Amino acid sequence: MALTVETYFNINEKTELLQSFYAEHGGCALFIVPSGLDKEALLALVCGETAYFGARPQVMTTGDLYKELSRLSGARLRVIDPPDHNLIIKYLLERFFAEAAARGLSLAGGVYHKGFVSVLGDNIKDMLNEEASPARLREALFGEEEPAADAPEALLLELYEKYLDYLAEYGLADAAQIATLARQSLLCAEAASWLCEKHVLFAGFLSFTGAQLKLARAIADICHTTMLQPETGLDDFHDGIKQLGAPYLARPKWRLPTALFSASGAHLEFEALARELALWADGGGVFAPLCADAVDYGDIGVMAQPHRMALLEYALGRYNIPYNAQARGTVGETLLGELPAALWGAFRSGWDHYHTKLLLANPLLFARADSTTPLAPEGVFPDNFEAWHDVLRGDEKKNLRAARKLCEGFERGGTPVELLSLWLAFIEKSGAAARCADAAGRLPQLDGCVKDIFYAVYELKKKIKNLSDEAKEIGPAARVPLRGAEAAAFITDWGATATLPISAPQRRSVTLYAGAPPILASHRFWIMTDVDYNTWPGTMRESLLMRGANKAKFNAAEAERAKAGVFDDLSGGVSHLPEPREEREQKEAVFRRLTATAREGLIIARSLTDMKKDPVGESQFVQSMVTYADAAKNTVKKEADRSWPEALCVNYPSDCALPDGGSPWFPEAEVVCSPFSRGEQSRPPVGAAPPREKPVVRISDLDLWRSCPYLYWCTAKLRLESPRLSLYDPRRAGVLFHRIWEECLTKRAAGERILIQSYAAANWERFKEELYPELAREPRLARYELMLRRQMTAMAAFEDEIEERAVCAGRSGVETELRLDDYEIDGVLFRAAADRVDYYGGDAVVLDYKLGKAENHVSELQIPAYCKILKETSGVAIKGVGWLGHRDTSIKGYFDDGYGDIYGCPNTGRKQTVSERIEEAGVAMAQMAEAVKNGCFVPNYDPKDKRCQRCGFFVMCRKREDARFTEALEDGSDDE
């Protein structure tokens, strides 16, 4: 049959081909992808981004293909789980050790180490992937000679044979054998006939293992086959194209702009990336040159090392960047995964203070949901079980007893299924999952933790069921008793291999990948973090059991077999074990394929130092790939048609960790670093030369200046702010309310007969989306949204009552957000905008909206100062000054006779009149003008003033050095 090979750089280049392939062949089209995570990506390419209602295309992995072929051939073997693989290896090793002891064979000490199970298992999988049979390995490496029994390769071959014999005896198969089994299934006429009707398309395979290559050739011999092979630009790399013996036809061309991003520290790398992504989404930042149009968070994908994901998520969360983590975590990474080792450690230590304290830190068993009281009182250091039992209370005491009982069960030992059942019973009786859910009720950010815990319990139950199911029996390896530390380690090892589900991708949010993304993943902009010499290529060690020289010896023997045309039925061809040099080439090819995840721009980020602060060099893969802007850096000739040109180079030194006052500032995430020196900041201004231009003062700062001139100088002049700690932003809520009342009153003034309450309620969603959209999008703001809506409804009803009385009283007009004329006092200009002015002929009432209670603002002079300016510049008579409070739907103020009744404030109980308040404001404005003009801002140390108590500039103003303030502290007042 025909074999067609086409190449690409980014899979999106083949969208049209994929769609036409499916349109032409329909139900006969069969797409084969490298992993299950690639299925949705391919379906999206075949079906497009729009809604698709046709027949679902057949997209399979090699494993899916084997399931279908084995169903038709009727010779399906059960593929074991990773934990079962380790159980079998462990079982075979223990029997081998017993045999070696009986023969008097001395083995290297390393083989008895716990980690040797993984080393041996990985080597066996490598040989299964390449279909290197034990017989051919033995012949190539040792010929007719009998190897020393304790030689590493001899040990490997003996255990490899035992592993294959075990699988064959119990009708099992390793996951690494799937490609081999699928090819063998094609020997069945029914399976071959089914495949013969198909048109097969392989997508995403950079290169093939020996077993995969033989399967691909077998499929190509039966049916029409198309190979979409990714290109890397490495002409010497033995990729899938060369493996298939196909020529490089119509090679793809690419020119991918690349940004090199580095930071001086490991943590600063992620902080700086998060900051620049937030700026980029706003149209600025250092990455803006990568594209001309706006960037949406959904355009961006980020790859991080699994152990750095928490740090990356923390950085993105601080800058309020939405993200979805496409990370296939394991049960071992949850709070449950830490428990077995912690429990056993406390038990084996005799419940000493240190190990038991570590155990108590796990919130699933011992965190108190209803109290902040510590589990053990201060100064008490229990050092045995009875002492701990005496200081704990309630459920904690019960769980400690259950923990001891569980560890005693570990010590007695049991089969894997018995130990897992014991562990499940302990989790359920201790209420671990319920505790986690209770904590999430108070901290919504723990929702993901709750899901992981419940799914971990689900996986545990499924594993117990599989081990107990006779149809899924894996032989005597599942019945070997484990005791003590081995029992606890078995549960920990199971957790390290039991995977958790991946969350569904989300639009308009950054996609994070823990490690490499799916092969067919594609993003407009792609960020690779921690790309340095330690990770790419990193440390590459040859196998302890199959050294590079012996791999080369085996490969040479296989090459001779190929020349002689000597093949056997088992393999269908020759095998090849990757040598160290080839493994490095493979890793570089994988690195380049990962860069092809980007469609329009690539960002390569790294830290200049590691976690120990030692310098880290640039990745050799980047050096050989990127076409640097500085030609002197290029050590290898680059092809213009297939290149990664350096678009920009950004370095974040340590002194860029804080904004310097001249760059954008994120109040919720950063502490601003003022451009002024410490000396200038620390000393209050006590005088300055007359300004060349007239200073401008906002009336809204008048009460701030009255409270503390130095605080006014820091916030209004230096533009320093204390970061807002709450997610809720009161200032935006205030703007939202102002906009609602402005539109409602403007429409009424224009003659529209509307009820404010009805209009505001009907348009609430629109107002919210325009001015504070986070209220709808951020679940943690839901309670604030409900609060604001209730306050709006109550205030709107209150305003409808005022409107009815004002119209009856002959109100002639209303102005909202009225910008007043500039008002000059002693060479200082005062500017202001009043929230609302109601006119009654030549009289006026000035009102202001407040988020809090109106009562809290009656002593302020901001609104009387508005009245002063309005009276002096417009000549109107001020008949009332009022504050409307949203928190308690109230109005307080000062009104002349008759006007208080209109606004529902007939008897204010105030000793001052409206005129007196206006005159008081005029005096305060004159004093402020003199201070501003002369540059005199002396701190007003007042420990009874809330603003002074909560002020974040106490180090700068040195209030604690002032005798008055010190005396107040000694009397019992405190500022923090």
Cβ atoms of residues 501 and 86 within 8 Å:
no
385: amino acid identity, one letter: F
pLDDT at 775 > cutoff 50 = yes
Terminal-to-terminal C-alpha distance of the chain:
81
pLDDT at 440 > cutoff 60 = no
User: What are phi and psi for residue 480, nearest 5 degrees?
Assistant: -75, 125
pLDDT at 446: 53
Cβ atoms of residues 871 and 837 within 8 Å:
no
pLDDT tens-digit map of 10-69 = 999 999 999 999 989 988 999 999 998 899 889 888 887 655 556 788 999 999 999 999
Where residue 495 falls among pLDDT bands split at 50, 70, 90?
confident
Q: How is 437-492 classified by DSSP, letter by letter?
A: HHHHHH-GGGHHHHHHHHHHHHHHHHHHHHHH-GGG---GGGG--B-THHHHHHHH
Dist CA 733 CA 756 (whole Å)? 18
> Which uninterrupted H or E stretch holds 224?
strand 224-230
Q: Identify the DSSP state of 517.
A: P
Q: Identify the DSSP state of 683.
A: S
- Pair of tokens at residue 161: 């044979």
CB environment 786-815: b (16+ within 10 A), e (fewer): eebeebbeebbebbbebbeebeeeebeebb
Please count the CA atoms within 13 angstroms of the CA of 893 that sit on its side-chain side. 33
In this prediction, residues 365-382 reach a mean pLDDT of 54
Closest CA to 828 of 719, 917, 701: 701
Dist CA 48 CA 46 (whole Å)? 6
| Helix 416-430 and helix 447-468, axial crossing angle in degrees, nearest 10 | 150
Q: How is 239-286 classified by DSSP, letter by letter?
A: -HHHHTT----S---EE--EEEEEESSHHHHHHHHHHHHHHHHTT-ST
99: amino acid identity, one letter: E
pLDDT at 373: 42
pLDDT at 973 > cutoff 80 = no
- Pair of tokens at residue 248: 């490089």
In this prediction, residues 430-451 reach a mean pLDDT of 63
Output the CA angle 567-569-571, nearest 5 degrees: 70
Judged by average pLDDT, the poorest of 285-299, 377-391, 922-936 is 377-391
pLDDT at 95 > cutoff 70 = yes
Give residues with Cβ within 8 angstroms of 879, minimum separation 6. Answer: 840, 843, 844, 845, 895, 896, 899, 914
In this prediction, residues 452-464 reach a mean pLDDT of 83
- Pair of tokens at residue 944: 């009874």
Provide the sign of the torsion angle of the four alpha carbons 629, 632, 634, 636, taken in this order: positive
pLDDT at 573: 64
pLDDT at 969 > cutoff 60 = no
pLDDT at 651 > cutoff 50 = yes
Dist CA 533 CA 262 (whole Å)? 13
737: amino acid identity, one letter: F
Closest CA to 587 of 647, 514, 533, 646: 533
Residue 614: Cβ-neighbour burial (10 angstroms; 0-12, 13-18, 19+): exposed
Closest CA to 79 of 172, 154, 10: 172
Higher pLDDT, 574 or 929: 929
Where residue 760 falls among pLDDT bands split at 50, 70, 90?
very high
Q: Could you give the 3-state DSSP secondary structure of residue 731?
A: helix
Where residue 672 falls among pLDDT bands split at 50, 70, 90?
low
- Pair of tokens at residue 809: 């009283």
Judged by average pLDDT, the poorest of 122-136, 385-399, 446-460 is 446-460
Cβ atoms of residues 463 and 420 within 8 Å:
yes
In this prediction, residues 98-120 reach a mean pLDDT of 84
**pTM of the shown model:** 0.67
pLDDT at 388 > cutoff 90 = no
Cβ atoms of residues 524 and 300 within 8 Å:
yes
pLDDT at 569: 47
Dist CA 211 CA 223 (whole Å)? 19
Number of neighbouring beta carbons within 10 Å of residue 859? 9
Judged by average pLDDT, the poorest of 60-74, 225-239, 252-266 is 225-239
Q: Identify the DSSP state of 714.
A: I
- Pair of tokens at residue 799: 């305003």
Average pLDDT, rounded, for the chain: 83
Judged by average pLDDT, the poorest of 500-509, 707-716, 789-798, 965-974 is 965-974
Give residues with Cβ within 8 angstroms of 119, minimum separation 6. Answer: 543, 544, 545
pLDDT at 659: 63
Query: Alpha carbon 503 to chain centroid distance?
Result: 12
CA distance to 63, 65, 108, 684, per residue, from 70 (Å): 10, 8, 42, 84
827: amino acid identity, one letter: G
Show the beta-strand stretches assigned E in 290-421: 300-304, 323-326
366: amino acid identity, one letter: F
Radius of gyration of the chain (CA): 37
Where residue 864 falls among pLDDT bands split at 50, 70, 90?
very high
pLDDT tens-digit map of 611-646 = 777 888 899 999 889 888 766 566 555 667 888 999
Give residues with Cβ within 8 angstroms of 85, minimum separation 6. Answer: 121, 174, 175
| Helix 335-348 and helix 485-497, axial crossing angle in degrees, nearest 10 | 170
Output the CA angle 490-485-86, nearest 5 degrees: 25
Distinct helix (H) and strand (E) counts, the chain = 38, 24
Number of neighbouring beta carbons within 10 Å of residue 970? 8
Dist CA 588 CA 531 (whole Å)? 12
Closest CA to 351 of 409, 400, 406: 400
Question: H-type helices in 713-820, by residue range?
Answer: 730-749, 756-762, 764-771, 774-777, 782-808
Beta bridge partners of 825: 828
**Percentage helix, strand, coil for the chain under 3-state DSSP, each rounded to 5:** 50, 15, 35
Dist CA 539 CA 285 (whole Å)? 35
- Any long-range contacts for 396-403 (C-beta under 8 Å, 24+ apart)? 396/360, 396/365, 396/366, 396/368, 399/365, 399/366, 399/430, 400/366, 402/426, 402/429, 402/430, 403/343, 403/346, 403/347, 403/359, 403/365
pLDDT at 675 > cutoff 50 = no
Show the beta-strand stretches assigned E in 538-579: none
Closest CA to 975 of 964, 963, 962, 965: 965
pLDDT at 726: 72
Closest CA to 86 of 122, 111, 129: 122
Q: How is 95-160 classified by DSSP, letter by letter?
A: HHHHHHHHHT----GGGGSTTHHHHHHHHHHHHHHTT--HHHHHHHHHTTSPPPTTSHHHHHHHHH
Closest CA to 878 of 918, 905, 909: 918
pLDDT tens-digit map of 892-901 = 999 988 888 8
Show the beta-strand stretches assigned E in 9-52: 29-32
